[in-house]
Amino acid sequence: GESAGSDIVDTWRQAIQIALADTAFSLVEVAVTKLGRSQFAVAYIRPEAPAPVDTLDAIRERVAGACSGVHEPSRMEIIYTGNYPYA
């Protein structure tokens, strides 16, 4: 695979930021790789405070739902992080 162009990354970033609006989570970074015709996105998301796993799962579902129409076929993963860069 190869890195996606900035226009593709910006589309994913916008969808994720919209999904996280009015939540206690913020997008740190998003990386998108092109794998043939499909895309694989990884979102690094920072919770503002410790959160129970049920909340993390709900945020994952919310973001995945918001991104479902960004590109098909695609796959997305969320990595929760408290520190930049992603550690």
pLDDT bin (cut points 50, 70, 90) of residue 87 is very low
67: which residues sit within 8 A by CB, 6+ positions away?
Answer: 12, 15, 16, 19, 41, 74, 76
25: which residues sit within 8 A by CB, 6+ positions away?
Answer: 45, 46, 47, 48, 59
pLDDT digits (tens, 9 = 90+) for 58-71: 999 999 999 998 88
Mean pLDDT, rounded, of the chain = 92
**What is the predicted pLDDT for the residue at 84?**
65
**What is the predicted pLDDT for the residue at 78?**
95
**What is the predicted pLDDT for the residue at 86?**
58
Residues 19-31 have a mean pLDDT of 95
